[in-house]
Structure 1
Amino acid sequence: MADALTIAALLLTAFMATTVVLTRDPARQAIVLSAYGLVLAVLFVVMQAPDVAMSQTAIGTVVVPLIVMLAVHAIRRHHGREPDDGGER
């Protein structure tokens, strides 16, 4: 049973990593990155590393996507684009 859970967590992690890479819009990528961080935290719990999972949850699920979203917003403001126009000129 433990092997099946480990394999499932690894496959879900690989799927989410691929999804992050294939997402083109930076704002959406930050949201998918947050979900990927959550999946990584689950993987760490399955691999019996709860301390690493807590760190991953705090940093990978919350802080990094927030910084990415703030950077995307600042770049769009600097270039005179509104955040909801799709980023096209």
Structure 2
Amino acid sequence: MIWVAALLVAMMLVAAVTVLLVRNHIAAVAAASLVSLLLSVLFALLGAPDVAMTEAAVGAGLSSVILALALRRLGLGRVKDA
């Protein structure tokens, strides 16, 4: 159990550093969503299913949609033609 939690935390740290280092804004939103999703899995493993469902719905779901829509409105979420 501890190894699974440690693996989830390590994956969350990698995703959080990815948010800081990636130059593509949509990829940063996806990595931030991954952090929230992994955190919800960790909450579920620790025995807090209500907190896990809330984190998955708000953190991974709603926040990602709001950030992506904000990027679209600012014109930063468009894919440039090659």
Instruction: Measure, in 2, the Cα distance between the counterparts of 1:36 and 1:22.
Output: 15
* 1:20–1:36 CA contact under 8 A, matched in 2: no
Which amino acid counterpart does residue 3 of structure 2 have in structure 1?
Answer: A
Structure having the higher Rg: 1
Q: Greater shift after overlay, 18-27 or 48-57?
A: 18-27
Question: Does 1:85 pair with 2:80?
Answer: yes
How far did 1:82 drift?
8.2
Which runs of no fewer than 5 residues in structure 1 stay unpaired?
none
Runs of 4 or more, structure 1, over 4 Å off, are: none
CA distance in structure 2 between the aligned counterparts of 1:6 and 1:28, rounded to whole angstroms: 25
- CA RMSD between the two structures: 2.0
Percent identity over the alignment is 27
**How far apart, in 2, do the equivalents of 1:8 and 1:35 lie?**
14
CA spacing shift, 1:12–1:82, aligned 2, 3 Å: closer
In 2 relative to 1, CA 58–82 (structure 1 residues): closer, same or farther, beyond 3 Å? closer
Alignment pair present for 1:22 and 2:21: yes
Tell me the secondary structure at the aligned position of residue 24 of structure 1.
Answer: coil
Q: Does the 8 Å contact 2:36/2:60 carry over to 1? A: yes
* Distance across 1 between alignment mates of 2:57 and 2:19: 19
For structure 2, list consecutive stretches of 5 or more residues without a partner in the other structure: none
* SS of aligned partner of 1:4: helix
Q: Provide TM-score, normalisation by structure 1.
A: 0.76
